[in-house]
Amino acid sequence: MKIDLTGKTALVTGSTQGIGLAIARSLAASGARVAVNGRSRDRVDEAVATLDGDVVGVAADVADAAGAQALAAELPHIDILVNNLGIFGAVPAREITDDQWRSYFEVNVLAAARLIRHYLPGMVDRGWGRVLQIASDSAIVIPEEMIHYGVSKTALLALSRGFAKDASGTGVTVNSVIAGPTHTAGVEDFVYQLVDKSLPWEQAQREFMRLHRPQSLIERLIEPEEIANMVTYLASPLASATTGGALRVDGGYVDAILP
Protein backbone atom coordinates (compact mmCIF):
# COMPACT_ATOMS: atom_id res chain seq x y z
CA MET A 1 0.00 0.00 0.00
CA LYS A 2 1.65 3.22 -1.18
CA ILE A 3 0.40 6.61 -0.07
CA ASP A 4 1.26 9.36 -2.54
CA LEU A 5 0.12 12.90 -1.74
CA THR A 6 2.18 14.58 -4.43
CA GLY A 7 0.43 17.71 -5.66
CA LYS A 8 -1.69 18.08 -2.52
CA THR A 9 -1.38 20.95 -0.05
CA ALA A 10 -2.05 20.26 3.63
CA LEU A 11 -2.53 22.54 6.62
CA VAL A 12 -1.97 21.15 10.11
CA THR A 13 -3.00 23.52 12.90
CA GLY A 14 -1.08 23.55 16.17
CA SER A 15 1.76 21.64 14.55
CA THR A 16 4.93 23.00 16.13
CA GLN A 17 5.24 20.00 18.47
CA GLY A 18 3.75 16.68 19.54
CA ILE A 19 1.01 15.04 17.50
CA GLY A 20 0.67 17.96 15.09
CA LEU A 21 4.37 17.97 14.24
CA ALA A 22 4.33 14.20 13.71
CA ILE A 23 1.36 14.58 11.35
CA ALA A 24 3.13 17.33 9.40
CA ARG A 25 6.23 15.14 9.09
CA SER A 26 4.23 12.15 7.87
CA LEU A 27 2.25 14.13 5.30
CA ALA A 28 5.43 15.74 3.97
CA ALA A 29 7.13 12.34 3.73
CA SER A 30 4.18 11.20 1.58
CA GLY A 31 4.79 14.03 -0.88
CA ALA A 32 2.35 16.70 0.26
CA ARG A 33 3.21 20.36 0.52
CA VAL A 34 2.64 20.99 4.22
CA ALA A 35 1.91 24.21 6.11
CA VAL A 36 3.03 24.12 9.74
CA ASN A 37 1.01 26.40 11.99
CA GLY A 38 1.45 27.90 15.43
CA ARG A 39 1.02 31.24 17.16
CA SER A 40 4.72 32.12 17.44
CA ARG A 41 6.85 32.80 14.36
CA ASP A 42 9.94 31.53 16.19
CA ARG A 43 8.24 28.26 17.16
CA VAL A 44 6.93 27.78 13.64
CA ASP A 45 10.35 28.40 12.10
CA GLU A 46 11.97 25.97 14.55
CA ALA A 47 9.45 23.27 13.65
CA VAL A 48 9.83 23.80 9.90
CA ALA A 49 13.60 23.47 10.26
CA THR A 50 13.16 19.94 11.65
CA LEU A 51 11.16 18.70 8.67
CA ASP A 52 12.17 17.47 5.23
CA GLY A 53 10.21 18.01 2.05
CA ASP A 54 8.07 20.87 0.81
CA VAL A 55 7.20 22.57 4.10
CA VAL A 56 6.18 26.16 4.82
CA GLY A 57 5.36 27.93 8.07
CA VAL A 58 2.32 30.05 8.82
CA ALA A 59 2.28 31.86 12.16
CA ALA A 60 -1.31 32.68 13.17
CA ASP A 61 -3.65 32.11 16.10
CA VAL A 62 -6.47 30.22 14.41
CA ALA A 63 -8.53 30.26 17.61
CA ASP A 64 -9.03 33.95 16.88
CA ALA A 65 -11.19 35.08 13.96
CA ALA A 66 -8.65 37.67 12.83
CA GLY A 67 -5.84 35.12 13.07
CA ALA A 68 -7.77 32.58 11.03
CA GLN A 69 -8.50 35.24 8.42
CA ALA A 70 -4.79 36.11 8.23
CA LEU A 71 -3.90 32.45 7.77
CA ALA A 72 -6.49 32.05 5.03
CA ALA A 73 -5.10 35.08 3.22
CA GLU A 74 -1.59 33.58 3.33
CA LEU A 75 -2.79 30.09 2.41
CA PRO A 76 -5.95 30.53 0.33
CA HIS A 77 -6.24 27.02 -1.14
CA ILE A 78 -5.56 23.65 0.49
CA ASP A 79 -6.56 20.07 -0.21
CA ILE A 80 -6.10 18.61 3.26
CA LEU A 81 -7.13 20.31 6.50
CA VAL A 82 -6.04 18.77 9.79
CA ASN A 83 -7.61 20.52 12.77
CA ASN A 84 -5.14 19.45 15.43
CA LEU A 85 -5.10 22.57 17.62
CA GLY A 86 -6.42 21.93 21.11
CA ILE A 87 -5.98 22.82 24.75
CA PHE A 88 -6.55 20.76 27.89
CA GLY A 89 -6.16 21.10 31.62
CA ALA A 90 -7.51 19.65 34.83
CA VAL A 91 -10.12 21.68 36.74
CA PRO A 92 -12.57 20.31 39.34
CA ALA A 93 -15.97 20.03 37.68
CA ARG A 94 -17.79 22.50 39.91
CA GLU A 95 -15.01 25.06 39.58
CA ILE A 96 -14.99 25.39 35.79
CA THR A 97 -15.85 29.00 35.08
CA ASP A 98 -17.91 30.43 32.24
CA ASP A 99 -14.75 31.90 30.76
CA GLN A 100 -13.07 28.49 30.79
CA TRP A 101 -16.06 26.88 29.10
CA ARG A 102 -15.99 29.60 26.42
CA SER A 103 -12.22 29.30 25.95
CA TYR A 104 -12.38 25.55 25.41
CA PHE A 105 -15.21 25.91 22.94
CA GLU A 106 -13.38 28.69 21.07
CA VAL A 107 -10.11 26.78 20.74
CA ASN A 108 -11.21 23.15 20.49
CA VAL A 109 -14.41 23.52 18.46
CA LEU A 110 -14.97 26.93 16.89
CA ALA A 111 -11.43 27.19 15.49
CA ALA A 112 -12.04 23.97 13.55
CA ALA A 113 -15.52 25.03 12.42
CA ARG A 114 -14.17 28.35 11.22
CA LEU A 115 -11.45 26.76 9.06
CA ILE A 116 -13.81 24.13 7.66
CA ARG A 117 -16.23 26.90 6.71
CA HIS A 118 -13.45 28.67 4.83
CA TYR A 119 -11.75 25.77 3.07
CA LEU A 120 -14.58 23.31 2.40
CA PRO A 121 -16.19 25.25 -0.48
CA GLY A 122 -12.96 25.19 -2.48
CA MET A 123 -12.52 21.47 -1.89
CA VAL A 124 -16.10 20.85 -3.03
CA ASP A 125 -15.60 22.96 -6.15
CA ARG A 126 -12.46 20.96 -7.05
CA GLY A 127 -14.19 17.65 -6.29
CA TRP A 128 -11.57 16.42 -3.81
CA GLY A 129 -10.54 17.18 -0.26
CA ARG A 130 -9.87 15.80 3.17
CA VAL A 131 -10.93 17.37 6.48
CA LEU A 132 -9.71 15.74 9.68
CA GLN A 133 -10.24 16.60 13.33
CA ILE A 134 -7.94 15.28 16.06
CA ALA A 135 -10.29 14.27 18.84
CA SER A 136 -9.60 12.32 22.03
CA ASP A 137 -10.70 9.31 24.02
CA SER A 138 -12.01 11.98 26.41
CA ALA A 139 -14.79 12.63 23.91
CA ILE A 140 -16.24 9.27 24.87
CA VAL A 141 -14.76 8.52 28.29
CA ILE A 142 -15.43 11.94 29.83
CA PRO A 143 -12.73 12.60 32.46
CA GLU A 144 -14.15 13.91 35.71
CA GLU A 145 -11.08 16.10 36.23
CA MET A 146 -11.61 17.99 32.95
CA ILE A 147 -15.16 17.59 31.72
CA HIS A 148 -14.95 20.89 29.81
CA TYR A 149 -12.20 19.32 27.69
CA GLY A 150 -14.18 16.13 27.19
CA VAL A 151 -17.33 18.01 26.20
CA SER A 152 -15.38 20.06 23.65
CA LYS A 153 -13.97 16.91 22.08
CA THR A 154 -17.43 15.32 21.97
CA ALA A 155 -18.59 18.40 20.10
CA LEU A 156 -15.71 17.92 17.66
CA LEU A 157 -17.03 14.45 16.78
CA ALA A 158 -20.44 15.95 16.06
CA LEU A 159 -18.85 18.71 14.00
CA SER A 160 -17.12 16.14 11.82
CA ARG A 161 -20.25 14.08 11.30
CA GLY A 162 -22.31 17.12 10.41
CA PHE A 163 -19.84 18.51 7.88
CA ALA A 164 -19.43 15.03 6.36
CA LYS A 165 -23.14 15.15 5.59
CA ASP A 166 -22.77 18.66 4.20
CA ALA A 167 -20.02 17.38 1.85
CA SER A 168 -22.00 14.31 0.82
CA GLY A 169 -21.33 13.15 -2.74
CA THR A 170 -18.70 15.80 -3.48
CA GLY A 171 -15.48 13.76 -3.28
CA VAL A 172 -14.59 15.46 0.02
CA THR A 173 -14.38 13.33 3.15
CA VAL A 174 -14.62 14.53 6.75
CA ASN A 175 -13.50 12.39 9.68
CA SER A 176 -12.28 12.49 13.26
CA VAL A 177 -9.34 10.61 14.74
CA ILE A 178 -9.75 9.63 18.38
CA ALA A 179 -6.31 9.75 19.98
CA GLY A 180 -5.68 7.84 23.18
CA PRO A 181 -3.06 8.51 25.89
CA THR A 182 -0.08 9.78 23.93
CA HIS A 183 3.62 10.29 24.59
CA THR A 184 3.96 14.04 23.99
CA ALA A 185 6.02 16.87 25.47
CA GLY A 186 5.67 16.99 29.23
CA VAL A 187 4.12 13.56 29.57
CA GLU A 188 7.35 11.99 30.80
CA ASP A 189 7.51 14.48 33.67
CA PHE A 190 3.86 13.76 34.45
CA VAL A 191 4.51 10.01 34.46
CA TYR A 192 7.46 10.36 36.79
CA GLN A 193 5.31 12.36 39.19
CA LEU A 194 3.19 9.25 39.64
CA VAL A 195 5.66 6.34 39.44
CA ASP A 196 9.13 5.53 40.76
CA LYS A 197 11.59 8.03 39.28
CA SER A 198 14.36 5.42 39.26
CA LEU A 199 12.59 3.27 36.67
CA PRO A 200 13.81 3.41 33.04
CA TRP A 201 11.30 5.09 30.73
CA GLU A 202 9.90 1.97 29.07
CA GLN A 203 9.23 0.37 32.43
CA ALA A 204 7.97 3.63 33.93
CA GLN A 205 5.37 4.21 31.25
CA ARG A 206 4.07 0.65 31.52
CA GLU A 207 3.79 1.04 35.28
CA PHE A 208 1.95 4.31 34.76
CA MET A 209 -0.46 2.67 32.34
CA ARG A 210 -1.02 -0.30 34.67
CA LEU A 211 -1.82 1.92 37.63
CA HIS A 212 -3.44 4.96 36.07
CA ARG A 213 -4.67 3.95 32.58
CA PRO A 214 -5.59 0.28 33.03
CA GLN A 215 -8.18 0.43 30.23
CA SER A 216 -5.39 0.48 27.63
CA LEU A 217 -4.99 -2.81 25.76
CA ILE A 218 -1.49 -2.03 24.48
CA GLU A 219 -0.34 -1.16 28.03
CA ARG A 220 1.89 1.69 26.89
CA LEU A 221 1.57 5.26 25.70
CA ILE A 222 0.85 5.84 22.03
CA GLU A 223 3.61 7.49 20.02
CA PRO A 224 2.61 10.60 17.99
CA GLU A 225 3.79 8.86 14.83
CA GLU A 226 1.18 6.15 15.31
CA ILE A 227 -1.57 8.76 15.24
CA ALA A 228 0.08 10.40 12.24
CA ASN A 229 -0.07 7.10 10.36
CA MET A 230 -3.86 7.02 10.63
CA VAL A 231 -4.16 10.68 9.66
CA THR A 232 -1.95 10.20 6.61
CA TYR A 233 -4.03 7.25 5.44
CA LEU A 234 -7.29 9.16 5.90
CA ALA A 235 -5.78 12.11 4.01
CA SER A 236 -4.98 9.92 1.04
CA PRO A 237 -6.98 8.78 -1.99
CA LEU A 238 -6.93 5.28 -0.47
CA ALA A 239 -9.51 6.36 2.15
CA SER A 240 -12.06 7.55 -0.41
CA ALA A 241 -14.92 5.51 1.10
CA THR A 242 -14.31 6.56 4.71
CA THR A 243 -16.24 9.65 5.77
CA GLY A 244 -18.33 10.81 8.69
CA GLY A 245 -16.36 8.48 10.93
CA ALA A 246 -14.60 8.62 14.27
CA LEU A 247 -11.59 6.35 13.91
CA ARG A 248 -9.76 5.27 17.03
CA VAL A 249 -6.01 5.27 17.61
CA ASP A 250 -6.48 4.76 21.31
CA GLY A 251 -4.66 1.52 22.08
CA GLY A 252 -8.01 -0.02 22.99
CA TYR A 253 -8.50 2.54 25.77
CA VAL A 254 -12.19 3.14 24.98
CA ASP A 255 -14.06 0.06 26.21
CA ALA A 256 -16.58 -0.06 23.37
CA ILE A 257 -16.94 -1.74 20.00
CA LEU A 258 -18.04 1.57 18.42
CA PRO A 259 -16.98 5.09 19.42
Known catalytic residues are 149
CA 181-67-129 angle, to 5 degrees, is 65
What is the C-alpha separation between 151 and 26, in angstroms, rounded?
A: 29
Which residue blocks in the chain are alpha helix, DSSP H?
18-29, 41-49, 65-74, 98-105, 111-126, 147-166, 187-194, 201-212, 224-234
Phi, psi of 168 (to 5 degrees): -55, 130
What is the C-alpha separation between 117 and 226, in angstroms, rounded?
A: 28
What is the C-alpha separation between 211 and 224, in angstroms, rounded?
A: 22
User: What residues contact 142, with CB distance under 8 A and at least 6 apart?
Assistant: 150, 151, 154
User: What's at 65, amino acid-wise?
Assistant: A
